[in-house]
Structure 1
């Protein structure tokens, strides 16, 4: 199935540092005269993960959820180098003015959070407020993992994704059964909210596009081959929302960002999983609303 909030396929065209054209697909709602709220998804997702937030905030914002390069209906350039952090950050830098705005409220989850942390630090003039869900600040994650054996064990998949071909095969096997386990597993999946059969089919559809699985895994390969540089402190207001039943990330990572953020608020949702914006959307939306006031 093709999930849809808007009836149109909307794209912005950006240019890489190599002068190559990349089209970024997005879904939008709300009055174009309202402030921009830009949503950035994680792995293995696409814009659809933000469906509850798009409906909630469309009254007060121009809400836009993109498909990152390599995902969904966005272009999928080949090669690991095309998924290094500098290129993804450049994508966001061009998306905001291409949508007709000078800045945004940036909302991100998982891998999108890593991008958002970095983007906000490198381009503070483009972010009014930052909201990150279940994603550690990249400057502290590596050192935290080296000191915390529990987190090191939970990060096993990062190393597995460095292997050629095998990770792609594991995702595609048995009609992408892996995606079903990720979102509906008893321990790892959406535990409090609902993830229907149709929802799972939407994710499978997105990952059935040619090159999509490799592109998504290339984000992990690129972060090892092209390690990001240390980024500046973040001065704008930041809200971290953390589902405490995350089986991939230690809860202690949430508050650890205090060391590199001047104005940091953390809200924990005890019953929520890693997929916090889908697991407890009402609580997530309430925390967002309070923060934005």
Structure 2
């Protein structure tokens, strides 16, 4: 585990600085890179990751943006209050809202993947005035997800883990088995190194973090079956077509939930697309943002 901490410290010294932000009586571990006077690009990570999953994007965009990634509540170095009730989507979107203000910004370019992506969709629906552009990666609009989760058998089968994680305590033991072997199996793709894997293991192995992170899933069904509503924010959906958890069909027919949507599919890309194909993802992000700026002018 010490290798991951060393890796993180080296990355800190070269690319950004970290700090602790207080929001809603919680301490959040925040990582920043770039001039704070530039527009904010805020990253929301997924499971079983942490802020470090955005290292490639931080490097790519810190010259033009104030890049900020953070350990979401219950993850890594951030506080993890006990109890399922402390991990509802409303509380987590509230964290995002307050953090943007604490960072000294009024709006952001919001980027989300997996669980962070679900929160991103929810945040864009609830706080549209705070999101200039939304970039979602391998995560559908929640209302589209709930559609397929009710009748599309392939997606129901692929979502087995959501139902498994509803069981008390046993899933925590399963995640920890074999020195968190699940992370080796699921996250080792593309340009992800053994040292990167150790960083994710270090984050989730901190006391109590496996339990608090799984509480996200224990509130997920409520999130999915409570309508999120239409997202009017201009949005880019980047989708790896070899996702083992989310069927590519989820990336279609989303326009009814997000009229200003552009979809870019990466053939053969996996669920952890921002780490699996970072150069291509960064190119698509930059192309989209430059196009949107041109249209705005």
Identify the match of residue 85 of structure 1 among 89, 114, 126: 89
1:194 CA displacement = 2.1
3-state SS of 2:219 partner: helix
Structure 2 residue aligned with 1:218, among 215, 218, 230?
215
2:156 to 148, 152, 165: 152
Residue 207 of structure 1 aligns with which residue? 204
| 1:245 CA drift (Å) | 0.5
CA distance in 2, matches of 1:251, 1:225: 23
CA distance in 2, matches of 1:74, 1:42: 15
Contact (CA 8 Å) 1:105, 1:127: kept in 2 or not?
A: yes
Structure 2 residue 118 is matched with structure 1 residue 114 = yes
Shift of 1:48: 0.5
Q: CA deviation at 1:91?
A: 0.4
Instruction: Report whether the alignment pairs 1:6 with 2:29.
Output: no
The TM-score with structure 1 as length reference comes to 0.93
Structure 1 counterpart of 2:264:
267
Deviation string for 1:226-279 (max 9, x for gaps)? 766322311121000000000101101112321111200000000211111111
Matched, 1:276 2:285: no
RMSD: 1.3
CA displacement at 1:106 relative to structure 2: 0.1
Kindly indicate which of the two structures has a greater share of residues assigned to helix.
Answer: 2
Q: Distance in 2 between matches of 1:225 and 1:106?
A: 23
Native 8 Å contact 1:85 1:228 kept in 2: no
- What's the secondary structure of 2:236's corresponding residue? strand
1:123 matched to 2:127? The reply is yes
Could you tell me which runs of 5 or more consecutive residues in structure 1 were left unpaired when the two chains were aligned: 16-20, 185-189
Aligned counterparts, 1:31-180, within 5 A = 31-180=35-184
Structure 2: unaligned runs, 5 residues or longer = 291-297
Task: Evaluate the alpha carbon distance shift between residue 36 and residue 228 of structure 1 in structure 2; reply closer, same or farther with a 3 A threshold.
Answer: farther
SS in 2 for 1:179: helix
The equivalent of 1:254 in structure 2 is: 251
1-side partners of 2:106 and 2:97: how far apart?
10
Residue 195 of structure 2 is matched in structure 1 by 198
Deviates more, 1:122-131 or 1:270-279: 270-279
TM-score, length basis structure 2: 0.92
Q: Secondary structure at the match of 1:213?
A: helix
After TM superposition, the structure 1 stretch with the greater mean CA deviation from structure 2, 86-95 or 170-179, is: 170-179
Query: Does the CA-based 8 Å contact 1:122-1:232 persist in structure 2?
Result: no
Q: SS at the partner of 2:139? A: coil
Task: Report how many residues are paired.
Answer: 281
Shift of 1:175: 1.1
Quote the offset at 1:225 in angstroms. Answer: 5.6
Cα shift readout 1:173-212 (whole Å, capped 9, x = no counterpart): 121111111113xxxxx2xx22211111111100111111
Question: CA–CA distance in 2 between the matches of 1:155 and 1:22?
Answer: 31
Between 1:108-117 and 1:247-256, the stretch displaced more is 247-256
Q: Structure 1 CA distance, aligned partners of 2:181 and 2:229?
A: 40
Deviations 1:80-134 (Å, cap 9, x if unpaired)?
0101111001100100000000000000000101000000000000000000000
